[in-house]
Chains A and B, each alone.
Chain A
Amino acid sequence: MTFEELLQVPPYSLGHEEKHALLTERLLELTEHHRDRCPEYRRMLKSVGYDAGSVSGYEDLPFLPVRLFKELSLRSVPQEDVVKTMTSSGTTGQAVSRIYLDRTTSANQQKAMVKIVSDFLGASRLPMIVLDCPSVVKDRNMFSARGAGILGFSIFGARKIYALDDDMHLDREALTAFLEKFQGQDILLFGFTFMVWQHFYKELVRLKEQGVTFDLSRGILIHGGGWKKLASEAVSPQEFHDRLRDVCGIDRVHDYYGMVEQTGCIYMQCECGHLHASVFSDVIMRRPLDFGVCGVGEPGIIQVVSAIPESYPGHSLLTEDEGVLLGEDDCPCGRKGKYFKINGRLKNAEIRGCSDTYAAKFA
């Protein structure tokens, strides 16, 4: 089957059996596709004795640890077909993932994302406030996860402003003018969770103390990027939501889970606070000890599969995140498919040994 066929399916419409059959077919094809075109991937499959004949569902397919994309250049297309190289936003000194996109994969990422996000925002484009600075998207040859996220979501914005300047200071005048202009309309706000908190929320609190307030009750905030930094400030998702509402009236807040290694098929948080898998992808929670599949409610390492990647062998990946499957096909929000939550990153190993670890071997 082709990705075009999958695009005809509404993103949260399939029950378990239909989705399982559809994704298994597509992912088996992708496995063969990458085996034929990516020599490194071919060697990996060979090393574990992969046999397509013994695969009864996509949970039987091999999964590559995401870290491999930091260690290796994995491509299933000739270099001249690469139109974009995406990189993860590693902190200074850490290796970054490098994801190679050709025209098809890049376009399919965007198409999948449109389908997914439209299910939450509706079909029409909204005035949009990016809660970040413009310089993040300047270098289009090297897409960081932050830049890619902003550009990816920008297609949902009709008119767009950046709320922060390049020094990460809130541009009060621009924000005020924008809100006045689009008074009474729904407005999309997008940003990275930590940036939203650090440079937007905290500034709004400071301004409120001076008597300056902004009314964002018609706002819809989509944010992603993870909770690691906020967890260290002891800010829970609930508190994040509550305090933002208190300071500017915004109540429609959607977290999402996604990664540069599988751009496009993001996992949006629904009105019930659950992250949802669309028809384009799925999550499988795996037991750390034996990588067996976890049941509902059992925390495990998150494997992600995606029907999108054709230019790099990233259709079945093992993340370093821990999550819990909450259910399938029965979320009160009405969306079908699996829904889950994220518990956070796996802890780095604490190991003994004679050689001091100045820097972890794997960033």
Chain B
Amino acid sequence: MRQNLHDLTGVTYLVGSADIAAAMPAVPALPPFDGRILEFLNAVAKALLADREAKAYPDVVTFAFWIRSASTKKLKERFCRDDGAVRLGRGVAFHIAPSNVPVNYAYSLAAGLLTGNANIVRVPSKDFPQVDIIDRALQSVLAMPEHREMRKRICLVRYGRDRAVNDALSAMADTRVIWGGDATIAEVRKSSLPPRGSEVTFADRFSLAVIDADKYLALEDKDHIAQDFYNDTYLTDQNACTSPRMVIWTGGKKEEAKAEFWRRLHDLVRKKYTFQPIQGVNKLTSGYLAAVNREGVRVAPHEDNLLVRVRVPALDGGVMDLKDNSGYFFEYDCGDILELKPLCDDSRCQTVSYLGDKDMFRPLLAAGGRGIDRIVPIGKTMDFDLIWDGYDLVSRLTRTVSMI
């Protein structure tokens, strides 16, 4: 194996080295939320929060807050059960981060560390400034004598879509974490894991928002909701797995609420969003394709191409195959929450963000559909948690020693 890793060409180590990676199978696993890990992550958080450049990137700052000890201690309380069993990291975790989200890899690494694993993380192929900032912070903390021990637990690598590298890194993985959707999963799965190797995969998903029109109209600060919704959508070109592609309206005064909601969002988009000419063509194409595929589809009149709304007369799983991004929203008027069942019965259905009473979803969950992994208020769709995509990452990235 050692030989093998050194022979691989085209692999760049941003943090760590081929030596460190090759030695990982022998690195002792730690219990989840070990004090040394929490201290290390807290030191990284401090380095990030002291970094001037980092302040320009809200995603980096959010990550820094998430790994502060104040935050990780809360996670520890939530996830550490005192049931007599001993839990340990699985060993070597090999993570493949998505290529077009800057900080996702850092969360994956943090999850791997918090659960006591040694981690090899493939970072995005694109040169994001966020990656440089976070890597700089990691390097600076790893250089501190008190955090030396962590060096053998972290390798950040960059390489092209190279089967040989996937093969080598998968062969030494006790667990593999694949972000990046269906195509990436299919690609990486060509490389086999050891017989006991486990895997967590983050597949292609879709998400939706449910807004109670009357609750919305009663809100004092409607601009705040517009900002929250903007962050859930346009901030990632409405193309994250968590981004609502459809807005479902409940309640009485739907038309009044829609007019208000979309007008405020549009004002914000006009100020903040960088529009690319092809996006207008894409949305026009998607609207027509939806119209051909579904009887009764109506494209709402729109003053420009920043925000396109497409009204669908009925909900079914297939309608989400027609989704688009960058400000393209399906809309549906809902009388009874169970009308969402066909949509949410699709295992690709991930996050339901809401404005209103979350208890309204209980009948839907009780109906036993295959979808819906998260129900969160509007504005919180991107908040990372160790329960993600329906997986409890703490249990998935550790093993439990039964001791009776």
Contact at B239–A351, with CB atoms within 8 Å? yes
Residues of chain B within 8 A (CB-CB) of A111 are none
Contact with A along B270-309 (1 / 0, CB 8 A): 0000011111111011011111100101110101111000
Q: Is A246 an interface residue (CB 8 A)?
A: no
Contact at A290–B303, with CB atoms within 8 Å? yes
Contact with B along A111-148 (1 / 0, CB 8 A): 00000000000000000000000000000000000000
Known: A353-B236, A354-B180. A47 touches B299 (CB 8 A): yes
Contact at B187–A354, with CB atoms within 8 Å? no
Known: A318-B284, A358-B187. A351 touches B100 (CB 8 A): yes
Contact at B281–A318, with CB atoms within 8 Å? yes
Q: Is A232 an interface residue (CB 8 A)?
A: no
Known: A322-B277, A354-B240. A43 touches B295 (CB 8 A): yes
Among B184, B288, B326, contact of A356 (Cβ-Cβ < 8 Å): B184
Minimum Cβ distance to chain A for residue B258 (Å): 17
Q: Is B104 an interface residue (CB 8 A)?
A: yes
Q: Is B12 an interface residue (CB 8 A)?
A: no
Q: Is A64 an interface residue (CB 8 A)?
A: yes
Among A68, A301, A356, contact of B100 (Cβ-Cβ < 8 Å): A356
Q: How far is the CA of A320 from the CA of B279 in the complex (A)?
A: 11
Residues of chain B within 8 A (CB-CB) of A65 are 281, 284-285, 288
How many chain B residues sit at the interface, stated as a range, is 35 or more
Q: Is A355 an interface residue (CB 8 A)?
A: yes
Q: Is A46 an interface residue (CB 8 A)?
A: yes
For window 343-363 of A, CB contacts with B under 8 Å fall at: 346-359, 362
Q: Is A212 an interface residue (CB 8 A)?
A: no
Contact at B183–A68, with CB atoms within 8 Å? no
Contact at A352–B240, with CB atoms within 8 Å? yes
Minimum Cβ distance to chain B for residue A31 (Å): 15
Minimum Cβ distance to chain B for residue A37 (Å): 15
Q: How far is the CA of A349 from the CA of B324 in the complex (A)?
A: 12
Known: A68-B289, A322-B277. A349 touches B282 (CB 8 A): yes
Residues of chain B within 8 A (CB-CB) of A354 are 98, 101, 104, 179-181, 202, 205, 239-242
Q: How far is the CA of A184 from the CA of B243 in the complex (A)?
A: 68
Residues of chain A within 8 A (CB-CB) of B306 are 289
Minimum Cβ distance to chain B for residue A187 (Å): 40
Contact at A353–B237, with CB atoms within 8 Å? yes
Q: How far is the CA of A301 from the CA of B299 in the complex (A)?
A: 21
Among B101, B184, B204, B298, contact of A352 (Cβ-Cβ < 8 Å): B101
Q: Is A40 an interface residue (CB 8 A)?
A: yes
Known: A352-B239, A355-B204. A347 touches B288 (CB 8 A): no
Known: A354-B179, A354-B181, A356-B99. A288 touches B277 (CB 8 A): yes
Give the number of residue pairs across the A-B interface with Cβ within 8 Å: 131
Contact at B239–A46, with CB atoms within 8 Å? no
Minimum Cβ distance to chain A for residue B97 (Å): 10
Q: How far is the CA of A347 from the CA of B181 in the complex (A)?
A: 24
Contact at B303–A356, with CB atoms within 8 Å? no
Q: Is A234 an interface residue (CB 8 A)?
A: no
Q: How many residues of A contact B (CB 8 A)?
A: 36
Q: Is A291 an interface residue (CB 8 A)?
A: yes
Residues of chain A within 8 A (CB-CB) of B291 are 43-44, 46-48
Q: Is B182 an interface residue (CB 8 A)?
A: yes
Minimum Cβ distance to chain A for residue B25 (Å): 28
For window 57-92 of A, CB contacts with B under 8 Å fall at: 64-65, 67-68, 71-72
Q: How far is the CA of A48 from the CA of B311 in the complex (A)?
A: 11
Contact at A291–B305, with CB atoms within 8 Å? yes
Q: Is B325 an interface residue (CB 8 A)?
A: yes
Minimum Cβ distance to chain B for residue A315 (Å): 15
Q: How far is the CA of A68 from the CA of B202 in the complex (A)?
A: 31
Residues of chain A within 8 A (CB-CB) of B275 are 288-289
Contact at B239–A353, with CB atoms within 8 Å? yes
Q: How far is the CA of A40 from the CA of B285 in the complex (A)?
A: 13
Minimum Cβ distance to chain B for residue A151 (Å): 30
Minimum Cβ distance to chain A for residue B374 (Å): 14
Among A46, A290, A352, A355, contact of B182 (Cβ-Cβ < 8 Å): A355
Q: How far is the CA of A350 from the CA of B325 in the complex (A)?
A: 11
Contacts from A to B (Cβ < 8 Å): 40, 43-44, 46-49, 64-65, 67-68, 71-72, 288-291, 301, 318, 320, 322, 346-359, 362
| A-B pairs with lowest CB-CB distance, top 8 | A355-B181, A353-B239, A47-B291, A288-B277, A290-B304, A351-B237, A356-B180, A65-B285
Extra pairs beyond A301-B277, A349-B279 (12, CB < 8 Å):
A318-B284, A346-B278, A346-B281, A351-B325, A352-B101, A353-B98, A353-B100, A354-B202, A354-B239, A355-B204, A356-B100, A357-B183
18 A-B residue pairs with CB within 8 Å: A43-B297, A47-B298, A48-B299, A65-B281, A288-B275, A288-B278, A290-B303, A346-B278, A352-B239, A353-B101, A353-B237, A354-B98, A354-B179, A354-B239, A354-B241, A354-B242, A356-B180, A362-B282
